[in-house]
Structure 1
Amino acid sequence: METTPRATPTSSRPEFPEGYGLPETTDGLLTWDQVEPRLRDAQHYWISSVRPDGRPHSVPRWGVWFDGRFWYDGAPTTRHTRNVEHNPAVTLTLESGTEVVIVEGESHATRVDPDDLGGRLSEAFGKYAAAGYTPAPDSWAGEDGGGLRVITPGRVLAWFDFPNDCTRFSFPSSA
Structure 2
Amino acid sequence: MDTTPRSSRPTFPDGYGIPETTDGLLTWDQVEPRLREAMHYWLSSVRPDGRPHSVPRWGVWLEGRFWYDGAPTTRHTRNVEVNPAVTLTLESGTEVVIVEGESHATRAEPDGLGARLAEAFGKYADAGYSPGPDSWAGPDGGGLRVVTPRRVMAWFAFPTDCTRFTFGEPDGRV
TM norm structure 2 = 0.96
Q: How many residues are paired up?
A: 171
User: Match for residue 129 of structure 2?
Assistant: 133
- After TM superposition, the structure 1 = structure 2 runs for residues 117-156 of structure 1, keeping only pairs within 5 Å, are 117-156=113-152
On the 8 A contact 1:69/1:152 being kept in 2, the answer is yes
On the 8 A contact 1:6/1:67 being kept in 2, the answer is no
User: Match for residue 82 of structure 1?
Assistant: 78
Label 1:6 to 1:137 Cα distance change in 2 as closer, same or farther (>3 A).
Answer: farther
- The SS at the match of 2:12 is coil
Structure 1 gap ranges (5+): none
Deviations 1:15-64 (A, max 9, x none): 00011000010100000000000000000000000000000000000000
Whole-Å Cα distance in 2 between the matches of residues 160 and 128 of structure 1? 26
Structure 1 position 54 matched with structure 2 position 34: no
Q: Which residue, 6, 22, 26 being the options, matches 1:30? A: 26
Q: Which residue, 109, 112, 124 being the options, matches 2:108? A: 112
Whole-Å Cα distance in 1 between the matches of residues 55 and 27 of structure 2? 28
Whole-Å Cα distance in 1 between the matches of residues 159 and 90 of structure 2? 18
Whole-Å Cα distance in 1 between the matches of residues 4 and 29 of structure 2? 9
On the 8 A contact 1:46/1:93 being kept in 2, the answer is yes
Structure 2 gap ranges (5+): none
User: Match for residue 94 of structure 1?
Assistant: 90
User: Match for residue 11 of structure 2?
Assistant: 15
| Structure 1 residue 150 displacement after superposition | 0.1
| Structure 1 residue 172 displacement after superposition | 1.1
- Say what the alpha-carbon RMSD is for the aligned residues: 1.2
Whole-Å Cα distance in 1 between the matches of residues 105 and 80 of structure 2? 9
TM norm structure 1 = 0.96
Identity %: 81
- The SS at the match of 2:120 is helix
| Structure 1 residue 10 displacement after superposition | 0.3
Whole-Å Cα distance in 2 between the matches of residues 8 and 97 of structure 1? 25
Letter of the 1:13 partner, please give it. Answer: R
Letter of the 2:117 partner, please give it. Answer: L
On the 8 A contact 2:101/2:147 being kept in 1, the answer is yes
Structure 1 position 39 matched with structure 2 position 47: no
| Structure 1 residue 138 displacement after superposition | 0.4
Whole-Å Cα distance in 1 between the matches of residues 163 and 3 of structure 2? 17
Whole-Å Cα distance in 2 between the matches of residues 34 and 44 of structure 1? 18
Whole-Å Cα distance in 2 between the matches of residues 148 and 91 of structure 1? 17
